[in-house]
Chain A
Amino acid sequence: MSETLGISPQSVDDPEPLRVVLAKLGFDGHDRGLKVVARTLRDAGMEVIYLGLRQTTDSIVAACEQEDADVIGLSMHNAGHLTLAPRMVQAVEEADLDVPVVIGGIVPAEDVAVLIEAGVAAVLGPGASAEEVVAAVRAAPNRQSPDHQSPAR
């Protein structure tokens, strides 16, 4: 699968897989894209903690803490991204977590800058290739921040 997508598994230099929490926030039932992304990230060698539908910012923060996640991936198809994505970023900050939020789904072009301004790490629209999804998730964690400096990393 990974070969057909042209994605190489994680390199040997970084043997610890990225742990990614994937969820849909609030009232939004379109989870097909999220399932495709889960599969794509797994095939790129990541560990996907799949929360699925009807999550809250609290449940996502709790999962991130318990799972020691590196990245949050949110799928949004209900036109609520301008409200919900900044709330997620804020909830992560309030929990004093250093976990970037990547958004995927239907986001109009003019909203992308607004979301980035609100602290979202990356926005992936329809048509984003598997390579782009993997690259965006890999680039998201700020591994230089003091919080993530442990001897193991």
Chain B
Amino acid sequence: MSPTSLDELFESARAGNRRALGRLLTMVERQDDNAVIVSERAHRDAGQARVIGVTGAPGSGKSTITGRLAAVSGAARPAILAIDPSSPLTGGAILGDRIRMDNNVSSSTFIRSMATRGHAGGLAVAVPDAVRVLDAAGCDPIIVETVGVGQVEVTVAAAADTTVVVVTPGWGDAVQANKAGLLEVADIFVVNKADRPDARGARRDLELMLDLGHRGEWRAPIVLTTATEGEGIDDLWSEIERHTSFLHHSGELIRRRCLRRRSEVADRIELGLRDRALRIIEAQSGESAMGRVERHELSPAAAAEQLLAALIPDNPPEE
């Protein structure tokens, strides 16, 4: 990819060309050598957009809520990044979030579906890159939707300025949210399908859990929605805006974004190290540590220690 054509792609994407933006997202999604170049280029223009994470159990209504949010935001160019799992067996995926969105969003909303592509760790790098590209293209807000199961998916949604956690009546008591690690990442709770019995019960459960304590000055509000009817979505957007202004006034926005950048660097290092380690391991056989492990002559723990010592010296490099 020559610098000129990359600049051209970014320029068209910024001017609202969907196809150019789609192409750029494919490049970062693949996480190949091009991805680094695209990420670099995007970095220059990014850092402006609000990033909203939406997560929750499968079938809780995340996609419907996300589509409606984009519509009520009143933004000129909102974007949605909808992440669904790939099959661990075949690598294929059915990305079905758009069918819950298409009827509600305006044509100015940019929707991209993304599969986890088996490498859950890679998601921690591919998603920030995709957000960066959307941001550089002038999209705002950017809503990242993930299924709230699995550490990486929750972490990805939580790596936002504002994280919305969606639950439904009858989903189980608040202990379930605690278990899933969802409670501590929520800036706003949504009890969706509020037209069902016991929506108030679900709200009460959450309130009780929040009464036990929350981090910092912000206590997550709880919004009741019936997303299919569009009910409560305006309230949800108001709470998001209230949280945005809290982020600005409290200095929390700067703190969060610093943390996010730091953890992305850490994720990239981890991924790079793992790739290098796997290459070394694959090349090992015969009299090497790996060969001796295979023949039961060396313990896996001892072999890992040896290989790790060869990979990185024990003393961290000086600043």
Residue numbers of A with Cβ under 8 A of B are 1-2, 9-10, 16-17, 38-39, 41-53, 55, 59, 62-63, 65-68, 95, 97, 150-152
Contact = CB atoms under 8 A, between A and B. Distances in A.
By Cβ-Cβ distance, the 10 closest A-B pairs, closest first, are A42-B92, A65-B18, A68-B22, A52-B99, A65-B19, A68-B26, A50-B96, A9-B90, A45-B92, A45-B91
Contact of B30 (A44, A59, A152): A152
Contacts of B18: 62, 65-66
Interface residues of B, number: 33
5 contacts: A9-B89, A50-B95, A65-B18, A66-B22, A67-B22
A42 B117 CA distance: 12
B47 to A, nearest CB: 23
A51 B87 contact: no
A49 B111 CA distance: 11
Nearest to A21: B98
B83 to A, nearest CB: 12
A53 B117 CA distance: 26
A55 B22 CA distance: 20
Determine the main DSSP class of A at the interface with B. mixed
B98 to A, nearest CB: 6
Contact of A59 (B23, B96, B102): B102
A55 B111 CA distance: 16
Given A51-B98, A66-B111, A150-B1, A46 B92 contact: yes
Interface string B104-138: 00010011110101000000000000000000000
B92 A47 contact: yes
B92 A17 contact: yes
A47 B87 CA distance: 10
B263 interface: no
